Amino acid sequence: MELCFATNNLHKIQEVQAILAGRHTILSLADIGCTEELLEEQDTIPGNSFQKADYVFRTYNVPCFADDSGLEVEALNGAPGVHSAYFAGPQRSHQDNMNLVLSKLSTTKNRKAQFRTVITLVTASTTQQFEGILKGTILAEKRGDGGFGYDPIFLPDGYSKTLAEMSAEEKNQISHRARAIAQLIEFLKDK
């Protein structure tokens, strides 16, 4: 089945293509001629995920799935959450975002956090959402050069390496996105 993954983020496309390993043909937004920036106007991760997938399906008539992800830090009442990409401002700097989280946590011992992804699939016959969560801890300093976003400060529960210290293969086996995609794949098995 051909599916559009509604993102312009090359890292996400590569991660999903690696996880799907040829089971389905993944089209990028560029592949379907979508050049506009997809809006994320909702105040929840599931809301943004649905908004993007629904827009692409209605506008381009292509079965589509979209994700929205966020880092949810317990001591910050779930922030940055839906605002993870631009937590430190509109420049969307990974470094600035990490530094702001570290600064806000500098006086707390509670460093529990989770990455959360919600994927919405919209086709002619269905709309479904799939959620993946990866629990962990925010470290006091960055470790590792891999990954993207908050990966250098996130230590998954039960692991001694941050997501940024893991190989792409290791990360793809445990990531929040991989968990949501596994549910999507299971759903698509008979499609």
- Under DSSP, is residue 70 helix (H, G, I), strand (E, B) or coil? strand
Residue entry with tokens 């990531």: 175
Residue entry with tokens 């983020």: 9
How many whole angstroms separate alpha carbon 114 and alpha carbon 4?
27
Q: Which amino acid is at 55?
A: Y
Calculate Rg over the CA atoms of the chain.
16
Instruction: Clarify whether 68 is annotated catalytic.
Output: yes
- Under DSSP, is residue 154 helix (H, G, I), strand (E, B) or coil? strand
Q: Do residues 172 and 10 lie in contact, with contact meaning Cβ atoms separated by under 8 Å? A: no
Q: Do residues 32 and 62 lie in contact, with contact meaning Cβ atoms separated by under 8 Å? A: yes
Cα-based angle 98, 102, 106 (whole degrees, multiple of 5): 175
How many whole angstroms separate alpha carbon 92 and alpha carbon 79?
15
How many whole angstroms separate alpha carbon 50 and alpha carbon 119?
8
Name the active-site residue from 67, 68, 151, 157.
68
Catalytic residues, which ones? 68
